[in-house]
Structure formats: structure tokens, C-alpha cells
Amino acid sequence: MPRIVHTLLRIGLSASIMLALIAHTNGSYSLTFVNQLESFAYDVRLRLTCPGGVDPRIVIVDIDDDSLLQEGQWPWPRRRLAELVDLLFDDYRIRLLAFDMVFPETERDSAWVVLQTLAQGALREDAAFQQEWAVLRTELSGDARFAASLQERPVVLGYSFAMPGEQGQDLRIGQLPPAAAPLAVLASAPNPFVDAAGYSANLPSLQASARGGGFFNSPLIDQDGLIRRLPLLLRHDGQLYENLSLAVLRTLLGGLPLSMVFGVGYHDADGRRVEAVRVGVFDIPVDTQGAVLIPYRGMQGSFPYFSARAILNRQIDPNLLTGAIVLVGTTAAGLLDLRATPVQNIYPGVEIHANLIAGILDQRLKYQPVFARGLETLLLLCLGGLSIALGFTSPLKALLGMLALAAVTFALNLYAWQVLNWVLPAAPALLLLLLYLFQSIYGYFVQARRERRLSYLFGQYVPRELVAEMSRQPGGYALGGESRDMTVLFSDLQDFTTLSETLDPHQLTRLMQFILTPLTQVIHEQHGTVDKYIGDAIMAFWGAPLPDPKHARHAVDAALAMKARLEALTPELRARGWPSLRIRIGVNSGVMNVGNMGSEFRVAYTVLGDAVNLAARLEGAAKQYGVAIVMSETTRAVVTDIAWRELDRVRVKGRIQPVTLFEPLGTADALTETMREELVEHDRALAAYRAGAWEQASARFEALQAQYPEQPLYGIYRERIAVLRADPPATEWDGVFTLTVK
């Protein structure tokens, strides 16, 4: 093909990519993958720049599982809620209280109903009864008692709206609070706020006693199911009603009215759009649907949590709540207020409101300015033109030029995000990436055959980073057999064989993929090479094909991370109807043979040797000692900054030379004082055992078992000592125990 045709084709396809993104930006059509990228880019920026820490200004009183266990199932008696309100204001001296829940129904108290029937029936003419009933009616009515506790106090009640087309759109339950503003506040600007239909609100007596109210549900959940924004206001019957977070803010400010801040709309025919909602000195920016982006501080726990049970039992230091804004919500799974967010897949809904309140008070709300689309179009044109020009330079200059453009783009985006609180689109960065990939595609097809073949051979079981490194250092690895000092890991799932017998092949395949994928990811993150999968077992090694001076440390870190990753999967396993699983891991370091081994029909890149066999035996030993991870003394000698528990000195089956076994416990500075004391006592007991002081060793292990009953190791030693005392060893005692099971 003539060079001019190549050039025109290259320019034409590059320009097509640029024009497609510009058309998407201007709303000519929507590219789903670009929208997904925008959401992903937003989430990444949010997670990387979350301020973190704990904000003590806003406290969450949690209706958690412990509270339900003590007080009974929800809903609780209204008198108990009234007691909670009184305690929070009178004893804990809080500033404001908001309920992220609704009370739409009258409490049904059988005793109160009976007395009410008598008062209106048989005893209607009994003056003494009527006089006493007038006094007791309020005290006996849970609703009246709850309403009385709300009066003259800054309390905000929550409620929910139903959107048109949703279930409940025709319901009108309870009493709505006073509207935040009439539609007239919009003046002549288009209405950006979503219409609401039905509602489930609080009892009139409760809402009338509270200072305000706000809706807590959101119709603006993104397509991926994540809650990134909340509607600030919703329209209903010609009025604007406020979100729970906005209701809290207005109550804090003494019920200040709200007004609209108008800007120049990019697509509005009359050139106006609602840019922000103003309350006092606070401007809350909203998008074209009247929603505000939630300024998450971090993962769950960014605000203090106190169990409602502890509050009712007066177990919390009042100083921790004095002057705080308190939100009453729930993290109990059965009460269905857990949401998916960019910072955490399972996140309490009440903490979403806490984040928004804190963000408004701090004025750290992100928003997309009205001119963002125009700026994006300009950036696409400039970056597209420069990228096309760079495509005709040398590969090095093209790479450096693209990196420079990317650096400027990311710097501009980061400055806008961090300093100006602007959310700029990610399409310019996508354009740079697409054009660079397109410009580089020609070079890809002329890559050396060695690199392509290497990627093909090793890409399935070696981390991609290692493949790239091997390509850059072709002399740094060998495909033949050689001896190296390496570390090998064997892992197995406890009782998995029994479990697999209860699953059909499809379920078993899904479960295997669900478990092995994150465990393999951990190995790759620690620069390991997966040798093979043996059913539910994994064999991996460190130190080949590329040398790794820290192979032992990487293997230990991988073992600890695999255990933690599997424990973290437990909630999702249960959600899918699968039981929780435990892992056993054996790790050993030493000299082993590594390379391509097998037959003339099939070869595998693997490791062999006594050190490998020992690692497999250590994995089996983990079951006998009731621990998740067993390491050898050779690994222990290399990795010195990890805290360990010495398990035993044994002869494993098929091996004469004894080996000392250790259980890694994590970094030394992460140990609690209780754990340090336990390890000291354990070492003393083990020393007595090794010295043959059976009575002293038995007493020490008995004390350890009584203090730490969850640790099976101490029971094992007590049983072993009992046998040795009954049948002393014939030869001189060397403290070595022989394992008879693999």
C-alpha cells in the first residue's frame, strides 16, 4: 500500500476517534463505555483524595444487631424511642437529632386500646375514671410519649417519596413536613428537580412535634447501582421538599429559607439554569437533575458509631456526643439500609447523609461547572490535533510527547478537582489513550517474535509485570533447568472435598473461580508465579523466572494476604448461599531445581526438590496444629521483621532431618500487648517441654489453654505431654516430634 494511503488512513481514523468523542460530549449520541469511564474516573479520584479520618461533629447512633438482640425486633416501642431521645438531649447534650427512618403507623398497644375502649364506652360516664384516664392517656400512649419527647427540640424526621412508575406511587401515608420552598423560587428558570408521586411519611402527631423533616431515599442511583449523588430537592404538588441532609442543615441554621443561584446553561434555551441552592452562607451546587455529588470522607467508619444499646444503657462517655449532630440509623442487614457506593460496596445509608452534611458544612462539594462541556470540546480538539501530529514522529518522541500531554491533562484535572472542586470530564484522557494505542498498533505487529512468543508462553501463569521485565532483560531468566534459592507455597481449602460433593458441576465451577481468582491475584501482587492448580489447591513459587532477592518476604506476605482475602470473602460467600471457607498454607525456602520439565509430549515450567516436598508437608501440618499458615525455619531465618509463634520441631513423613515450624502473625509492631504476653508464656512452656520438664510444661500449657481456649495448639501439647509422661522416650529426649501424616 502506498505511503500516502497509509498516511491518509492514519489521519482519517485518528480524526474519527476524536470526532466521535466530541459528538458524545455535545450530546449528539451517547457512548456507553465513555459514560462508564467517566464513572470509573470519578470513583478513582474520589477514593484517592478522600480526606479520611473520623469527623466527630456528626455521630451515628446505630440500630445494630446488638441493639436488636437487646431490645427486640424493629420497630421498637415508641416509649423506648422517647427514652432514647430524652437521653440524647438531656444526658448527652447533643445539638441536633435526625432520624434516617420513618414512623408512618400508629403503635398498637393492647393495654392502651382496652382503656381507650372503656373510656369511650362502658366508663364514659364514670367521672373518676375519666379524670384518671385524662392523666394516664398521654403517659400510656407510646405515640404521644414519643411526640412529647420531640417537642421544643431540634429534631428532624425522615420519610420517603415514591417516584412515578414505582410501587407505592399512589400512596399518601402520614403527614409531610412543611415544604422547603414553593416552585416560584425557580423564577423563570427550567425546573431541574425530579417529580415525586406518593409518599410514606410520619404520623401527624410526630411530624407536628418535630422541628423539620426530609426524605432519605434517592431515585438517582447510577446504572452500575452505585450511589454517587443525592437529589437535594424533589417536586411534589407544586412544592419543593428537601433531602434529609438539607433539612438538618436548615434546622441547624434556625430554619433559614433557601433560594436558587442561577447560572448560564449550556443547553438551556433561555440561557438560565439552577446552578446551586443557597441556604444562608452555604451554596450547594446541583446538576441538571437537581442532585448534589456526595463528598465521601472514606470507607464506613468515617464518623463515630455508637450502638443504640450502649446509649440506652448509658455506657457511652457523654463528652463524645456533647454538641454533636446525631443521626439515628441502622447497619443491621435485616433492616435493608445498606447501599453500594464508590468507596465501599456495602455502606450504611445513614452514613451517606452524614457525608453530605459534613461536606456542606465544610463547603467541599464537587460539581461540574456549566461550561464543562465547552471546555471539554476545546480540549478534545487541541489534544487530538497534537496527538495526530505526534504520530508521525519517532516512537520515542511520540511517547514523550504523549506523556507530556497526558501530564498536562492530568495536572489540569487534578487542580480543578482539588482546588476548584470541579469535576472535569475524563474524555480528553481517553482520547489520548485511544490515539496513542492506535498510533502504536503498527509497532505492535512488528514486535520481535521472541517477545510475542514469550508473552504467549508465560502470560497465563506469570504476572504481566514479570513478562514485561523478562522482555526487557532477556538474559535475566533461563528456560532450562537450574538450581536456585527460592521460596515455594502450597495452599489448600479446608474440607473442600466434602463441600464439593454437595455441589453440582456448574456451582462448583463458579465457586472455584470465585475463590481462586482473588487468591491468584494476591500471589501476582506479591510477584509470585503460579505453578499449577490442583483442584482447590494452589502451588506457587518466588524467585523464578526472574531472580527475587526478597522471595521469602514476598511469599510470607502473600500467605498472610491470602488468609485475609479469603476471610474478607466470607460475607459474599454467605450471600451466594455458599459456606465460609478456611485455607491452609505451607511455605518453605531453600535450594530447588526450576525450569522446563516434563516429557517429550508436554513440558511445564515448575520447581522440584526436597525444599518443595517439605513445603507440601508443611501445608498438611497446618491442619494438625489448627493454624492457617505454617512456615519453615529457613523462611523464618530470612524474614526477620515478622512476628511468629514457634509451633514445634518435627520430623515430617519421608524426611529424616528435623525442621522447626512457625506460624506467622503479622508485623511485629501490629501485635497487641495481650498477644505479646501470650507469646512469652508460650515460649516458656515450649522451653520446659523441650527440656523434658513434663510437670512444669503441662502446667504452663494448661494455663495457656485456660486463658486462650480458642488456640488448639495448647491442647495438643497437653495431650502429647500426657502420653510422654505415661510412656517416657526410650532414648535421650531431643524435643523432636515425628509427624506420621502427610
Examine the domain organization and report whether 307 and 418 are in the same domain. no
pLDDT at residue number 612? 93
Examine the domain organization and report whether 489 and 583 are in the same domain. yes
pLDDT at residue number 446? 43
Q: What angle do CA 53, 56, 58 make, to 5 degrees?
A: 115
- Asked if the model's pLDDT at residue 598 lies above 70, the reply is yes
User: Would 283 be classed as within a structural domain?
Assistant: yes
Report how far residue 433's alpha carbon sits from residue 320's, in angstroms, rounded to the nearest whole number: 50
Examine the domain organization and report whether 642 and 685 are in the same domain. no
Mean pLDDT of 323-347: 90
Examine the domain organization and report whether 607 and 714 are in the same domain. no
| Grid cell in block for residue 550 | 526478597
User: Would 51 be classed as within a structural domain?
Assistant: no
Report how far residue 557's alpha carbon sits from residue 560's, in angstroms, rounded to the nearest whole number: 5
pLDDT at residue number 62? 94
Q: What is the overall mean pLDDT for the chain? A: 85
- Beta bridge partners, 155, equal 97
pLDDT at residue number 460? 53
- Determine the structural domain holding residue 425 and report its residue range: 3-30+371-445
pLDDT tens by residue, 101-125:
999 988 866 555 566 676 677 667 7
pLDDT tens by residue, 236-260:
998 999 999 999 999 999 999 999 9
CATH number at residue 639: 3.30.70.1230
pLDDT band at 599 (very low <50, low <70, confident <90, very high): confident
* HSE-up of residue 254 (Cα within 13 Å, Cβ side): 2
Examine the domain organization and report whether 252 and 332 are in the same domain. yes
User: Would 299 be classed as within a structural domain?
Assistant: yes
Last residue of a domain, one of 445, 460, 490: 445
Burial, 733: exposed, middle or buried (Cβ in 10 Å; 0-12, 13-18, 19+)? middle
User: Would 568 be classed as within a structural domain?
Assistant: yes
Examine the domain organization and report whether 600 and 692 are in the same domain. no
Mean pLDDT of 173-182: 94
Examine the domain organization and report whether 632 and 656 are in the same domain. yes
Last residue of a domain, one of 422, 445, 468: 445
pLDDT at residue number 266? 47
Residue bearing the bigger pLDDT, 99 or 503: 99
Mean pLDDT of 691-700: 90
Q: Check whether the bond before 75 is cis (ω within 30° of 0).
A: yes
Q: Among the listed ranges 109-113, 133-137, 720-724, which one has the minimum average pLDDT value?
A: 109-113
Give the three-state DSSP class for 457. Answer: helix
Mean pLDDT of 392-397: 73
User: Would 291 be classed as within a structural domain?
Assistant: yes
pLDDT at residue number 646? 93
Residue bearing the bigger pLDDT, 544 or 390: 544
Q: Among the listed ranges 57-61, 477-481, 576-580, which one has the minimum average pLDDT value?
A: 477-481
Q: Among the listed ranges 21-25, 563-567, 683-687, 698-702, which one has the minimum average pLDDT value?
A: 21-25
User: Would 20 be classed as within a structural domain?
Assistant: yes
Report how far residue 476's alpha carbon sits from residue 458's, in angstroms, rounded to the nearest whole number: 15
- Asked if the model's pLDDT at residue 560 lies above 50, the reply is yes
Mean pLDDT of 481-488: 90
- Asked if the model's pLDDT at residue 357 lies above 50, the reply is yes
Overall number of domains in the chain:
4
Phi, psi for 73 (deg, rounded to 5): -65, 155
Examine the domain organization and report whether 655 and 676 are in the same domain. no
Examine the domain organization and report whether 415 and 430 are in the same domain. yes
Last residue of a domain, one of 330, 345, 362: 362
Percent of the chain with pLDDT over 70: 87
Cα distances (angstroms) measured from residue 586 to each of 113, 487, 630, 673: 67, 11, 5, 27
Examine the domain organization and report whether 666 and 677 are in the same domain. no
Examine the domain organization and report whether 210 and 282 are in the same domain. yes
- Asked if the model's pLDDT at residue 459 lies above 60, the reply is no
Mean pLDDT of 422-433: 81
- Asked if the model's pLDDT at residue 681 lies above 50, the reply is yes
pLDDT tens by residue, 277-313:
999 999 999 988 899 999 999 999 999 999 999 999 9
User: Would 338 be classed as within a structural domain?
Assistant: yes
Report how far residue 137's alpha carbon sits from residue 142's, in angstroms, rounded to the nearest whole number: 10
pLDDT at residue number 299? 93
- Asked if the model's pLDDT at residue 175 lies above 50, the reply is yes
pLDDT at residue number 148? 93
Q: Among the listed ranges 52-61, 131-140, 546-555, 583-592, which one has the minimum average pLDDT value?
A: 131-140
pLDDT at residue number 125? 72
CB within 8 A of 708, min separation 6: which ones? 678, 714
